[in-house]
Structure 1
């Protein structure tokens, strides 16, 4: 009987502490996230080298490694509320270290994307061969598989999810349900929370949040 009483008290204590944590949990609905995109240019360039071009690619690649860092880094921001988000890039000096060898369509992608979660649509401003285009589309449906793996990103507890897009591109995402918006960098959405980390392992690219700033919305009179 004494052991039963102890178990009841222990269960009550755990239940109370869990309820207290849930009541004190803070969820973000409006804010701005700063992302850092890192492209492993050494790996990307190496994949382009084959028997047909190695005579001029290999010397150029060796020279590139002497004068350029392994990772090309670019920064972007995602501003969001419960209904919409806008993803845009910070200005960079494109001329710095930009050679024919380092140009890569995916690594250099700089789309501005407005996402409407209510209508499940996006409006993208794309730069193609120095021409700007506006493209409206439905949000991509991604068959995410959520795992038990967790990690902390920018101060938020995140859970890992995996997916395959375009039949062949493997995607790893880390999302947090502490930000109650089903958004993320680029056009990646569809998880029960905000994506703060994104990796395309076979494309040698990652996007990770470095800072999350919550914004307050003025109350209406």
Structure 2
């Protein structure tokens, strides 16, 4: 009798687990609000070298007294039918002191991604010029871990990777949103990326709100304005423009192509 009761209990539990799995809700379209947070003090500190310390150190000390350590910028990611549109939200005030024009401390990309064809259309602001970059999505070799974290009400799993050969990336994705996209150029995980951290670059993107709502076609419209280029030709243009920028060239170049 005990064996029969135990067997019945197991069957009941398995049945309930299957029912719960069937009833689990998956968000297939909607809009995500992201916050990009930049540690401006760390960004400034990295610019100081033994060659410029005499004038940059006083400037840094003054900056710390008048500016906030963390700059926060908002953006949205609309998604539906394996398409996403990442759009920066312009801040109410543009000034941020010494590094106000740094691409790392701003949002220069408006990115339409077709995950079915692995293509992107990116409207990129480079100082006073706008480029329209059409190319393939970035291929990222992710390593998924067992660590989890709750972001915007979703349980997310951690994954690590390197991009551009040297930039360490930590990402958190949820399989409750079965879309392989994410903020900026981050994609390729088995679910939507809701959090990204670049520890050595002192910048993060984390979702603050996920809305499970229908998305109109115009809310997924790809950007159209800008000088037409691909990633390779844009890189060639940027390296040519910055060839006389000395030690700052690589920092700006990395920020623009990241």
Length-normalised TM-score, structure 2: 0.79
Give the helix-richer structure, 1 or 2: 2
2:80–2:215 CA contact under 8 A, matched in 1: no
TM-superposed CA distance for 1:7, in Å, is: 4.6
Alignment check: 8 A CA contact 1:82 1:180 kept: no
Of the three residues 111, 114, 117, the one matched with 2:115 is 117
Q: For 2:153, which of 136, 152, 155 is the aligned residue? A: 155
Report the CA distance between 1:173 and its aligned residue: 0.5
Whether 1:181 aligns to 2:188 is no
* SS across alignment from 2:85: strand
Equivalent-residue separation in structure 2 for 1:181 and 1:101 (angstroms):
35
Contact map agreement 2:78 2:215 (CA 8 A) in 1 = no
**What is the TM-score normalised by the length of structure 1?**
0.92
Give the length in aligned residue pairs.
216
Cα drift, residue 54 of structure 1: 0.9
Distance 2:8 2:48 in 1: 67
Q: In the TM superposition, what is the alpha-carbon distance from 1:121 to its structure 2 partner? A: 0.2
Question: Residues 92-171 of structure 1 correspond to what in structure 2 (within 5 A)?
Answer: 92-96=91-95, 98-171=96-169
Give unpaired runs (5+ residues) of structure 2: 217-258
Partner SS for 1:34: strand
Q: How much has 1:94 moved relative to structure 2? A: 5.0
Supply the distance in 1 between the matched residues of 2:8 and 2:94 (Cα, whole angstroms): 67
Task: Give the aligned CA root-mean-square deviation in angstroms.
Answer: 1.7
Report how far residue 126 of structure 1 moved. Answer: 0.6
Q: For the structure 1 residues 9 and 85, does the alpha-carbon distance in structure 2 shift closer, same or farther, using more than 3 Å as the test?
A: same
CA contact (8 A) 2:176 2:191 kept: yes
Unaligned runs of at least 5 residues, structure 1:
none
Matched-pair contact (CA < 8 Å) for 1:165–1:171: yes
Find the counterpart in structure 1 of residue 22 from structure 2.
Answer: 23
Measure how far apart 1:16 and its partner are: 2.0
Q: Per the alignment, do residues 46 and 6 of structure 1 end up closer, same or farther by CA in structure 2, a change over 3 Å counting?
A: farther
Post-superposition offset of 1:59: 0.8
Match of 2:238 in 1: none
Give the SS at the match of 1:60.
helix
Q: CA deviation at 1:129?
A: 2.1
The CA deviation at 1:83 is 2.5
3-state DSSP class of the match of 1:55? helix
CA distance in 1, matches of 2:215, 2:39: 39
State which drifts further: 35-44 or 16-25: 16-25
Q: Aligned equivalents of 1:138 and 1:48: distance in 2?
A: 33
Q: Does the 8 Å contact 1:86/1:112 carry over to 2?
A: yes
Within 2, Cα distance between the matches of 1:130 and 1:7? 72
CA distance in 2, matches of 1:52, 1:90: 37
The CA distance in 2 between the partners of 1:163 and 1:21, in whole Å, is 33
SS in 2 for 1:17: helix
Mapped contact 1:60–1:101 kept (Cα < 8 A): no
Cα pair distance change 1:217/1:198, threshold 3 Å: closer
